Amino acid sequence: MAQDRPDKDKPRNALIVVGEALAMAVLPDNDRAAVWAEFMRLNLGLGGLTKAELRAAVDAIDTWLNTNAGALNTAIPQPARGALSTSQKARLLVAIVERRYITGS
């Protein structure tokens, strides 16, 4: 029941079916804004972008992830595709992206 959830006041993303996999819908606007604000707080530099241009990049990346969730899921071979939860697949993606583009750069 919704009233029993400790996170009941937090916005929840709707699950949608992509092929045989469950994927998250695009982030709600307040979550996109939180990602945008956190990136600015990290003070990594905006590369000459305005805040509005950075926000457009956040929106575009989130939309791309939503559009390509099915392709990512299909790329994972069985039995991992069936055995890993959506959350586990997301953590695996984050670990690979971080190693490839952040710690490995």
pLDDT in tens, 30-60: 999 999 999 999 988 888 899 999 999 999 9
pTM: 0.72
Give the span between the Cα atoms of 99 and 105, in whole angstroms.
Answer: 8
**Three-state secondary structure call for residue 77:** coil
Q: Considering the chain, what percentage of its residues have pLDDT values greater than 90?
A: 66
16 DSSP 8-state letter = E
pLDDT classification of 23: cutoffs 50, 70, 90: low
pLDDT of the residue at 105: 65
Q: Find residue 16's DSSP bridge partners.
A: 23
Q: Check residue 13 and give its pLDDT.
A: 46
With a cut of 80, say whether residue 61 has pLDDT above it. Answer: yes
User: At 29, is the pLDDT very low, low, confident or very high (cuts 50, 70, 90)?
Assistant: very high
